[in-house]
Amino acid sequence: MLGRKKIGLIFTFFVIQICCAKNISRSSFPKGFVFGTASSAYQYEGAVKIEGRGSTIWDQFAHSSGKVIDLSNADVAVNQYHVYPGDIQLMKDLGMDAYRFSIAWSRIYPNGTGKINRAGIKHYNNLINALQANGIEPYVTIYHWDLPQSLEDRYTGWLNRQSIKDYAVYAETCFKEFGDRVKHWITFNEPHTFAVQGYDIGLEAPGRCSILLHSFCRAGNSATEPYIVGHNVLLSHAAAVDIYKKKYQPKQRGSIGISLDSFWYESKTNSSEDIEATQRAIDWNLGWFLEPLILGDYPNSMKTRVGSRLPRFTQAESSKLKGSFNFIGINHYTTWYANVNHTNLIGVLLNDSLADSGAIILPFKDGKPIADRANSIWLYIVPHGIRSLMNYIREKYGNPLVIITENGMDDENSPLVSIKDALKDTKRIKYHNDYLTNLLAAIVEDGCNVKGYFAWSLLDNWEWAAGFSSRFGLYYVDYNDKLKRYAKDSVKWFKNFLSS
């Protein structure tokens, strides 16, 4: 008679085979293709008052009443600051090649500028060394949303051009201190997201907006601030890349890029006006930040429709921006529909960057969702979207080197679901299998220049305004029992995928 453990293993294997009938594996991908998992400092580290770390805009935002769905904060998060050696063993056991993590600016410069905090340097040196000792390549994000609060207090952070100079100093410190071992740098994570969520609709730090009826924003201008922030971030990126390429890359021989978030959008109908609106939706999501890096300027649709509210690049700035990357990181999760906004009622009510495109973006058509949904209200599972997006980048922007720096889905963190049941994440297995299958087709069949894939995320973690209500991890974290980690079935799937 078979034991319970063996029966469970047989069942898990059977489920994996059924949900993932297309037999892809690491060997299906081109030689040298990198597989990894991704994280960020604020969502993982905790230890917010340890060893000289300064406060950030997310510390203040998370501790403001009503800003986070479950009223939680990231003071402890999943405590990776203290337990990273164990987490590295989980990565090694998975068989991943690389780990994408971010450095907390306020651990290096507690006040954003001034004296370097050597304890922060030591921590990241230890983390990088431990990763390399275990055969895991570090991919380092220099800025993942956690601006030092002192810079926000001093000059309103990214709204002020002083941020360009201060970011450049911070970035160069990272190159100088860690660049002998870090060979893959990402200047910013998702500037589109924090420009819109933080400065247009106010749902993320620093929580600025002027949208009608959005009374909990204390200050802001939704019609101008997202564009100012985006502009200063692009110039900060260009400044950091210029420093790296001139002073550090020749000796350190690393690469540098940026991670941009992008939905894929499908036209709701075949009408020319909806097709044009869909293009504008893409411009306002991806083109806003990618086009300046490729062509040195914003998409024409943005310049025409935003007018004088959209800052302009000088000729020198445009030249520095154009080609300021070795690779483009893409964070992709989902696909929505787009169609033209005939009434412009939304624009009249909101007067913000979301309305400027003249496109309505929704995951529904004729009352039906575009696909099955994950836990997050925005995340619909449309695997072919990643192939469409990669081909769009190939065709429109000359097939630059792309790394998928985030892709994944979440489950609900429900007290009614036992740990045993939460580990049976068949839906996540199918998600990764199907998205990877489409990504493989984009590479092998279509010729898209994609060289890496990072699953979001290694662990369940603190998901910004969603707090702990959302579980994206391959490993389950028990928030009620000392943050113990448990392998979900998706870990077994990835181990099999990566070892085949």
Spatial CA neighbour of 404 closest among 416, 393, 412, 395: 393
The CB density around residue 214, as the number of other CB atoms within 10 Å, is 16
Residue 26, C-beta contacts closer than 8 angstroms, at least 6 positions apart: 33, 35, 497, 498, 499, 500
Rg (CA), the chain: 22
Active site residue 266: no
Q: Which residue carries 């000359």 as its tokens?
A: 398
Amino acid identity for residue 286 in this structure: L
Residue 246, C-beta contacts closer than 8 angstroms, at least 6 positions apart: none
The CB density around residue 299, as the number of other CB atoms within 10 Å, is 20
What is the C-alpha separation between 427 and 415, in angstroms, rounded?
Answer: 19
| Cβ–Cβ under 8 Å, residues 258 and 325 | yes
Of 190, 225, 317, 463, the active-site residue reads 190
- Could you tell me whether strands 470-471 and 411-412 are parallel, antiparallel, or unpaired per DSSP bridges? antiparallel
Spatial CA neighbour of 218 closest among 67, 350, 74, 351: 67
Q: Which residue carries 């924090």 as its tokens?
A: 194
The CB density around residue 484, as the number of other CB atoms within 10 Å, is 12
- Could you tell me whether strands 327-331 and 255-261 are parallel, antiparallel, or unpaired per DSSP bridges? parallel
Q: Which two tokens stand for residue 189?
A: 């994570």
Of 225, 291, 406, 463, the active-site residue reads 406
Active site residue 51: no
**Known catalytic residues?**
190, 406
